[in-house]
Amino acid sequence: EAQVTQNPRYLITVTGKKLTVTCSQNMNHEYMSWYRQDPGLGLRQIYYSMNVEVTDKGDVPEGYKVSRKEKRNFPLILESPSPNQTSLYFCASSLSLVPRNEQFFGPGTRLTVL
Amino acid sequence: TQLLEQSPQFLSIQEGENLTVYCNSSSVFSSLQWYRQEPGEGPVLLVTVVTGGEVKKLKRLTFQFGDARKDSSLHITAAQPGDTGLYLCAGQHAGNNRKLIWGLGTSLAVNP
């Protein structure tokens, strides 16, 4: 089954404790991205990747890091989480860079930073 | 600045009613997508429109892209409880093929 998986689905952590949210897709997609979704602010792109070893900042990259060492994986790293990073996070992938291509979203990771 | 304005923000209707939600902008988009997001899940693509004036139908859902490619609408006929969810529009801004602009969404509740 074609899908995007994220882990963990739920995470409660404390300020400053480094964490990684994993994302994997099995569709051989070139383009992957991370979003956060907050009430009243909608979906905002954090980082995106056009292919292996090619990443770029989205609209709200501060406090986040990403890597793309393999085509299928695109982990999101929070080196020192803060309460304002409490949010619902989505990983998405699509066949290519052109935004009109369908984006396939993961099920989301709900992160709470205390 | 929110480049894609969705209205209404919230909508609660009875089963069987018709409804229309709107996605408007002062900018031109080369393509526009509609997604539906159900609670606890990620958005799922419903349709992509690329031509000004284009109309696409998906069962009881009708999507229209404005002639000037600045706006779009989604019309649902005889809404059912299974239509409940957050409807998001997202556009590819003309002149910038790297970025997808997202609206804030319309939260629809269809009551039995």
Tens of pLDDT, residue by residue over B16-55, are 999 999 999 998 998 899 999 998 899 999 999 999 999 9
Q: Which residues of B95-105 are buried (b: 16+ CB within 10 A; e: fewer)?
A: eeeebbbbbbb
Nearest CA in chain A to B33: A100
Chain A hits for B43, CB-CB cut-off 8 Å, are: 43, 90, 103, 105
- The pLDDT, as a whole number, for residue A2 is 84
Q: Do B92 and A98 touch (CB under 8 A)?
A: yes
pLDDT at position B97, please? 63
CB contact (8 A) between residue A40 and residue B88: no
Distance CA A100, CA B8 (A): 24
Distance between CA atoms of residues A77 and A80, nearest Å: 9
Q: Which of A42, A45, A105 is nearest residue B105 as measured by Cβ atoms?
A: A42
Sign of CA dihedral A28, A37, B102, A63: negative
What's the rounded mean pLDDT across residues B60-65?
98
Å from B17 to nearest chain A CA? 27
Residues forming a β-bridge with B15:
none
Residues 57-86 of B with CB under 8 A from A: none
Average pLDDT, integer, range B102-109: 96
Res. B2: pLDDT tops 70: no
Task: Please state, in angstroms and rounded to a whole number, the distance separating the CA atoms of residues B112 and B106.
Answer: 19
Quote the pLDDT of residue A20: 98
pLDDT in tens, A69-111: 999 999 999 999 999 999 999 999 998 866 568 899 999 999 9
Q: Are B50 and B36 in contact (CB under 8 A)?
A: no
Q: What is the mean pLDDT of residues B53-65?
A: 97
* Burial call B17-36: b when 16+ CB within 10 Å, e when fewer: eebebbbbbeeebbbbbbbb
**Average predicted confidence (pLDDT) for chain B:** 93
Q: Residue B34: helix, strand or coil by DSSP?
A: strand
Assigned token pair, B43: 């958005």
Q: What percent of chain A has pLDDT over 70?
A: 96
Binning pLDDT at 50, 70 and 90, where does residue A1 land?
confident
Residue B90 has a pLDDT of: 93
| 8 Å CB contact between B84 and A24 | no
Secondary structure class of B78 (helix, strand, coil):
coil
The answer to whether A65 and A53 have CB atoms below 8 angstroms apart is no
- Write down the pLDDT at residue A65: 98
Q: Are B106 and B86 in contact (CB under 8 A)?
A: yes
